[in-house]
Amino acid sequence: MGGTSGVGLATAKFAEAEAIGAATAQLDAGDPAAVRNFIKEHREFDHLVLSVSGSSGAGHFRDLELDELRKGFEGKFWPQIACAQAALPTLKSGGSITFVGAISARALKPGTAGLAAINAALEAMIPILASELRPTRVNAVVPGVVDTPWWSRVPDAARAELFEKLASEVAVGRIGKPEDLASAIMFVTTNTFVTGAILDCDGGWKLKNA
């Protein structure tokens, strides 16, 4: 879910290249009835990857419009949870669900309290779902800053400057590519010994400067 762009698109391409394949359809992941219909139509499947996200919820708390934060939950938390629940009846035994979180959940950056709340809420559920839904494996892959259309609202020149600054703050010295995340998602999806994992794929956001 969320395969038209960025991380989700790179993951779908990776899955195609690995001959796993990806189901394609156009639907609103925030509409539970549409999600249930889509899943019913596709009958059994092996893996669900949830890369859906809106872009609301960022900003300093003093100025944060609470409706924007609500929109942030509506755009990411609720669609991911609704899709995961709707998928359960037709997900094959031994299959997997992979949520895509965000390092804002734990990066402690001013201006990201709302994003932290949305993504920490998802993260909190992972180990419990992995335990409850066994043998279905449940994991999360957690991006840092990745160059995807998610950032398209920032004008080109400002975005280039911002990426350069952010790249200098992470251990690997660069911004992520969608393929970095796709490879991490494929790892937790296909490795049948990984469940309950929250895999940071963030270039080292939380590491202290040397």
Ligand X SMILES: NC(=O)c1ccc[n+]([C@@H]2O[C@H](COP(=O)([O-])OP(=O)(O)OC[C@H]3O[C@@H](n4cnc5c(N)ncnc54)[C@H](OP(=O)(O)O)[C@@H]3O)[C@@H](O)[C@H]2O)c1
CA–CA separation, 6 and 152 (whole Å) = 11
- The contacts of residue 143 (CB under 8 Å, 6+ apart) are 7, 100, 101, 102, 103, 176, 181, 201, 202
Torsional class of 50: left (φ above 0), alpha (ψ -120 to 50), beta (otherwise) = beta
Using the minimum distance from each CB to ligand X, give the nearer residue, 95 or 143.
143
Binding mask 146-185 for ligand X (x = CB under 6 A): x-xxx-----------------------------------
Position of minimal CB gap to ligand X = 6
Interface with ligand X, residue 145, by CB under 6 A? yes
Cβ 170 to ligand X, closest distance in Å?
12
Among 11, 39, 48, 51, binds ligand X (CB under 6 A): 51
Binding mask 84-123 for ligand X (x = CB under 6 A): ----------------x-x---------------------
Cβ 85 to ligand X, closest distance in Å?
15
Binding mask 61-80 for ligand X (x = CB under 6 A): --------------xx--x-
What residue ranges bind ligand X (CB under 6 A)?
2-8, 28-30, 51-54, 75-76, 79, 100, 102, 143, 145-146, 148-150
